[in-house]
């Protein structure tokens, strides 16, 4: 499905964790994104982003500039049998409690409408790729002032081919030497961008960023088909929510 380039990045969010310690009320880990799939809403991020936290601590804002958070249900994860090939299972999906949801609070930061057919998109080496996340180097968390200052980062990249692990691919980020660190970008959505005319572009969902290094400029992402496969299993009841 083709989506105007100017609207696709509204689905990206920081992944925040609510702590019990009043002196350190929140922690901020990686990035994530909100999708609507088969008429249901989900928050998707990389599983390793949640490492060290309980699932009930996860908080995701309706809008990056407001404190109100989306009501979430229990998460879904998948397990693999190969301990040496974990990247293809590095995904966690949190269902949105739509009975308690106020869609008007999304404002212009709407969820991305993901279709099953998006998994058929072929990665084209001549296309550009883009991702929007919230890197750690652009965050300022002040516990004394109870404030969080942040900026998002949009990177553009070129397709480098398949990675070693199944269902993962590599991108080479342009001007990576100008980026301090990719830390905090894990879980960010990745889109393939097609330039139809000089001033008009279309973007299609490509997957989720997993990890990368600013020094090498290479990032790895989990392909669209894997994410859509997991979401399909959730909506069809083929996978149960994860226990704490």
Residue 108 has φ and ψ, to the nearest 5°, of -85, -5
pLDDT above 90 (res 79): no
Single pTM value for the model: 0.92
Q: What is the pLDDT of residue 3?
A: 54
pLDDT above 80 (res 93): yes
H/E/C letters for each residue in the chain? CCEEHHHHHHHEEEEEEECCCCCCCEEEEEEEEEEEECCEEEEEECHHHHCCCCHHHEECECCCCCCCECCEEEEEECCCCCCCCCHHHCCEEEEECCCCCCHHHHCCCCCEEECHHHHHCCCCCCCEEEEEECCHHHEEEECCCCEEEECCEEEEEEEEEECCCCCEEEEEECCHHHCCCCCCCCCCEEEEEEEEECCEEEEEEEEEEEEEECCCCEEEEEEHHHHHHHHHHHHCCCCCCCCC
pLDDT above 60 (res 4): no
Q: What's the whole-number mean pLDDT along residues 101-118?
A: 95
pLDDT above 60 (res 233): yes
For the stretch 25-76, pLDDT in tens is: 888 889 999 999 999 999 999 999 999 999 999 999 999 888 899 999 999 9
Task: Give the distance from CA 131 to its chain's centroid.
Answer: 9
Q: What is the pLDDT of residue 51?
A: 94
For the stretch 154-192, pLDDT in tens is: 999 999 999 988 899 999 999 988 888 899 999 999 999
Q: What is the pLDDT of residue 145?
A: 47
**Which is higher by pLDDT, 180 or 222?**
222
**Which is higher by pLDDT, 65 or 101?**
101
Q: What is the pLDDT of residue 142?
A: 57
**pLDDT > 90 in the chain, percent:** 68
**pLDDT > 70 in the chain, percent:** 90
Q: What is the pLDDT of residue 164?
A: 83
Mean pLDDT, the chain, integer: 89
Weakest-pLDDT range from 53-67, 120-134, 144-158, 206-220: 144-158
Most confident of 15-19, 201-205, 233-237: 233-237
Instruction: Sketch out the chain's domains with CATH numbers.
Output: 3-235 (2.40.10.10)
Q: What is the pLDDT of residue 23?
A: 77
CA distance 172 to 156: 9
């Amino acid at each position: 499905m083709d989506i105007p380039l100017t609207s696709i990045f509204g689905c990206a969010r920081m992944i925040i964790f609510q702590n019990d310690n009043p002196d350190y009320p929140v922690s901020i880990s990686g990035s994530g994104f909100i999708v609507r799939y088969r008429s249901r809403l989900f928050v998707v991020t990389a599983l390793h982003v949640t490492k060290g936290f309980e699932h009930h601590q996860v908080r995701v804002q309706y809008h990056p500039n407001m404190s109100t958070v989306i009501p979430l249900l229990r998460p879904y994860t998948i397990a693999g049998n190969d301990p040496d090939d974990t990247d293809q299972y590095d995904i966690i999906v949190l269902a949105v409690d739509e009975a308690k949801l106020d869609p008007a609070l999304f404002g212009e930061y709407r969820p991305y409408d993901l279709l099953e057919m998006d998994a058929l998109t072929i990665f084209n080496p001549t296309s550009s790729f883009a991702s929007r996340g919230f890197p750690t180097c652009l965050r300022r968390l002040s516990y004394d002032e109870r404030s969080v200052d942040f900026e998002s980062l949009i990177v553009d990249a070129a397709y480098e081919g398949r990675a070693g692990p199944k269902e993962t691919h590599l991108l080479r980020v342009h001007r990576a030497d100008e980026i301090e660190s990719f830390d905090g970008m894990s879980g960010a959505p990745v889109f393939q961008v097609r330039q139809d005319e000089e001033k008009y572009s279309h973007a299609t969902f490509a997957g989720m960023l997993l990890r990368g290094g600013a020094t090498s400029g290479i990032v790895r992402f989990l392909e669209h088909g894997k994410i859509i496969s997991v979401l399909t299993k959730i909506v069809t009841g083929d996978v149960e929510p994860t226990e704490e």
